[in-house]
Structure 1
Amino acid sequence: MNFRSRIPAALRRRAGAAVLTLLGTTTVRADCDFSPLDTAMQELLQTTGLSGGAVLVGRRDGVLHEQYFGDYTADTVVAIASATKLLSATRIAQLSARGTLALDAPVSSVLPQFTGTKGQMTLRQMFSHTAGYGDDEDSPVLRTNQPSLAAAVDTVACCVAMPNGWTPGAQFAYGGISMHVGGRMAEVATGQDWQQGWNAAIGVPLGITTIDWQGLGATSNYRISGGARSNLRDYGRLLQMLVNDGVGNGRRVLDIAALPPLFADNVGGLPIAYAPPSAPPPGQLRYALGNWIESLPDANGLATHSSLGAFGFFPWIDRPRGLYGVFMIRGGANINATARPVYLQMLGEARALVDGGACVTVEISDAILRDGFD
C-alpha cells in the first residue's frame, strides 16, 4: 500500500488546496485552520521587510502545520542566538541523568583551575543564570576568534571576574559566560568535543543534520549560550522529543530523570540583577535550565517553556497540551520588539485550535505534494 492510498479520500479532497501551497514539506495538517498564523507571519514580513520566514506547529503524534514564506524553504538554516540555550541545556540534563556530571557539584570538581568563589559555581546555576556571571554577552571570551572552548574557559578561570557583589546562587543575571564554562565541563567529563558530543548523543539519534555551533561563524570556541544554527524541522525534532518525555525518532534520547531538572524553576525568590528587555518583570520571572518558564505549572507540574533568540528564532513547548512550535525569522538585534507580539499571537491561536479538538496529523510524501490529490 502506498502512502497516498492510506489517506481517506474525503480527507484528500478537503486538504488538497492547502497541501498544494506547501511545496517541499513532508507533513501537513488537515481539518484545522492555521491560516491566521500564516497571515500574521506574512504581515510581519511586510512590516519588517525581511526576505522570509517559517512556522511549525506540532504535537506528540506529529506535525500539524509547517509553512514557509518568501525565500525560506525547508533547507533554510539560520543562526538561532539564545534558542541555543535549550539545545545546550538538553545535553547537560542528559549527562546529569546518566551520572556523567552532577548538577550541584562545584565546577572545581571538574575544572580545578576555578578556585575561590568561582570554584563554587554549579552546573545548575550556570545553566539558569544564577552562577554569579551575567550581562556579559559581548565578552571577548565568547567570540568566534578564540582558539577553542577550552582556551576561552581557561581565560575565564584566570582573568574574568564576576561583577562586584555577585556570587554563585545569590541572584539571577542573564548572560553567556557561565554556560560557556558548563559546556567545557561537559567536554572534560566526556572526553568529547562539545559539538561532536551533542551531535552523537542527540543529533544523530533524532535524525538532525543541520544543528551545529557555527551560527556566528566557523569556530572551535562553541558559544554554548548562543552560537548554534538550525533549520525549522531539525529544531522541531528536538521539541517533539521533549514533549514526548525524552523519546524521539523511535528511540529514547533523554532518560525520564533528565526532564524534571531541565524544566524546574531555579530562580524562585532570587533578586534579579540583570534580565534582557524581553524578560518577564521581577516576581513573574521563572527560568529553568536553558529555557524560560512562560506559564504557571498545571496540576501535573507541567508548564509552557520557551528559548527565544535575539534574531527572531522562537521555539516553545506547551507540556500540558503536548504541543510545540517554532517561529522562524532572521532579523537584526532589535527584531524582537516587533516579532514577539506576533509570536505570542501565534502561540495563543495554536493552543485554541488544538483545544478545539479538530486538528489531525497527516504525513504526506514529497511526491504527493508535487502531484497533488485526486
Structure 2
Amino acid sequence: MLRTLFSALFSTFAATALSGAAGAAHAAPIYDFSPVTAGMQSFVQAHQLDGASLRVNKADNVVYRRAFGGYTLGTRVRIASASKWLSALTIARLVEKGQMRWGDTVGQYFPNAEPAKRGITLQQLFSHTSGLAYEEDSCLSNAFYTLTSCAYHILQQPMIGQPGTVFAYGGNSMQVAGRMAEIATGKAWDDIFIAEMIAPFGMTGTDYSGESTAPGYVRNNNPTIDRSVRSTLEDYGKVVDMVLAQGCLRVRPNGSCAADGRFLQPSTIAFMALDRSVGTVSLYRPPTATGFGYGLGQWIDPSSPSIVSSPGGVGFTPWVDWNKRIAGVLLVDDLNVRLVDDINDIRALIDVVTADGQGRRLQPTLPAQLPADAQRSAGKAIPQPMKASASGRR
C-alpha cells in the first residue's frame, strides 16, 4: 500500500508549512498541490490503474484539476453507486417543483401493491429503509425489462422488514422510486434526468447507459437508478460544486447566489444530508461503510455530519466537506475495496494542502524519490484484478 508514501508527504508538507508560517501570509494566493500530485501518480502506478483524475473545489473555486496515467480530463467512466447521489438530486428537483413529495407512498403510485408495501415513502426508498429486499433483483440492468416492468417485479418480492425500521443498502428500492417519478411527471426517466440535471449543469458526458462506450447521450429503457450512470470528472464536479454551495449553481464573487443560479434550496440540501439510518437495524451495508450514516443518496461520514459522499464500487468517489469548504471528485474505474484506503489518504492530503483556507502556502520540499515500499519491487508486481461489474457496490 501507499501509507509510507502518504506519511512522508504529510510530514514533509506539515514541517515546511510550519517553518514558513511567518512569511506565508505574503505568498501568492495559490495552493501547492504537489503532494497531492505525487500521491495520485503513485496511486495510479502502485495499483496498475489505466488512469485516474482528480478535481478539487475549495471555497467555491476549482483549485485543482488533473488527469493521470492514460486518462484525460474528458475520460468517461461508469460510476456505479455514485449514481445514487445524482438520482436523489433529480428527485429533489421534482419535490421542489411540487411534482412529488418525500412523503409520497408506494400505494399512491402502485395501488395494487400488497398492503404492507403501500405505506413505504419516497424518502425511505432513497435511504435504504423501505424494508424492500436488498439483494439485486434479476430485472436490474436487464434489457428484457422496462423501468415499469422492473418496478412491478421488485414489488412482488417478499419484504425483509417493516418500513423505517431496517437499513439495507441496495438498488431495488430506488428502482421503484424511479418509476414513481415517471408516473408523477408523465416522462421517461431519461427525459426527467435531461431536464433536471443535464440541462442545468450543462453536462456533456453523463447518462444511464452503464457499460456503453457509445458517444453522446445513450437512452436506456430500464436505467438502473442506483448505479448505471457513466460520467466525467467535470460533469460530476459541477454537481459537488453545487452541493458545497448549498444548492447554488452560480456563486457570485461576494459569495451570494446569482439570481438565476439557484438549483435547489439550502433547506433541501440540508434535508438530504440528515441521517435516516439512526434507530434502524442494519441488515446490509458495504464493508467500506462501517459506521457511516445515510441520508438521501449519500453517505454521512462518522467523523462529522458535515462530510457527505457517494462512492461507487469501482472507486469513483465524490465528496463534500462543508466545514472545510471542500468538494472533490476522484475519478477511477477499478475496485473500491482495494483502493479505498489510499483514496482516503489522498483526501486527507487535500485537507492538509488547503487547511489555511487562504491558499497561501510555501513550496514544500518533497522526497527525491518515493519510499521503497511504495515502488513496485522486481518480481512482486501487484496482481491485476478483474474489473468490477456494474453491480459493484460502494
The alignment's TM-score, normalised by the length of structure 2, stands at 0.77
2:328 maps to 1:325: yes
Residues of 2 paired with 1:111 and 1:60: CA distance? 44
2:198 to 203, 207, 210: 203
Matched residue, 1:359? 359
Could you tell me which amino acid in structure 1 is paired with residue 262 of structure 2?
R
Q: C-alpha separation between the residues in 1 aligned to 2:226 and 2:342?
A: 24
State the partner residue of 2:375.
none
Matched, 1:336 2:328: no
Q: Which moved further from structure 2: 114-123 or 239-248? A: 114-123
CA contact (8 A) 1:107 1:121 kept: yes
Q: What letter matches 1:355 in structure 2?
A: A
Q: 1:167 and 1:216, CA in 2 relative to 1: closer, same or farther beyond 3 A?
A: farther
* Aligned residues of 1:291 and 1:307 also touching (Cα < 8 A): yes
CA shift at 1:186, angstroms? 0.8
Structural mapping, 1:118-197, within 5 Å = 118-137=117-136, 139-157=137-155, 159-163=156-160, 166-197=161-192
Which letter maps to 2:151?
V
> Counterparts of 1:10-21 in structure 2 under 5 Å?
none
Per-residue Cα deviation, 1:81-133 (whole angstroms, up to 9, x for no partner): 00000001111222222222121232111222323112121111111100012
Is the contact made by 2:208 and 2:228 (CA closer than 8 Å) also made in structure 1? yes
Shift of 1:193: 1.3
Conservation of the 8 A alpha-carbon contact between 1:96 and 1:258: no
What is the rounded CA distance, in whole Å, between the counterparts of 2:225 and 2:112 in structure 1? Answer: 20
Amino acid at match of 1:353: V
Within 2, Cα distance between the matches of 1:71 and 1:43?
14
2:149 partner amino acid: A
CA deviation string 1:158-193 (max 9, x = no partner): x32223xx2211110000000000111111111111
Count of equivalent residues: 318
> What is the CA RMSD across the aligned residues, in angstroms?
1.9
Q: Which residue of 1 aligns with 2:240?
A: 239
2:303 pairs with 1:292: no
Q: In the alignment, what sits opposite 1:86?
A: 85
Identity of aligned residues (%): 33
Q: Where in structure 2 are there 5+ consecutive unaligned residues?
A: 1-27, 213-217, 251-257, 361-394
Letter in 1 for 2:357: G
Q: Distance in 1 between matches of 2:55 and 2:229?
A: 19
Amino acid at match of 1:174: Y
Q: CA deviation at 1:196?
A: 1.6
Note if contact 1:134-1:176 (Cα within 8 Å) is conserved in structure 2. Answer: no
Take 1:40 and 1:169, find their aligned partners in 2: how far apart are those partners? 42
- Displacement of 1:231: 0.4
Residues 134 and 160 of structure 1, relative CA distance in 2, 3 Å threshold: closer
Give me the whole-angstrom Cα distance separating, in 2, the residues matched to 1:146 and 1:118. Answer: 25
Rounded Cα–Cα distance in structure 2 between residues aligned with 1:113 and 1:59: 49
TM-score in terms of structure 1 length:
0.80
Rounded to whole Å, the distance in 1 between the matches of 2:130 and 2:312 is 21
Contact kept in structure 1, 2:174 and 2:225, CA below 8 Å: yes
Whether the 8 Å CA contact 1:202–1:253 is kept in 2: the answer is: no
Q: 2:282 aligns with which of 272, 283, 292?
A: 272
- Whether contact under 8 Å (1:94, 1:255) holds in the other structure is no
Tell me what 1:40 maps to. Answer: 39
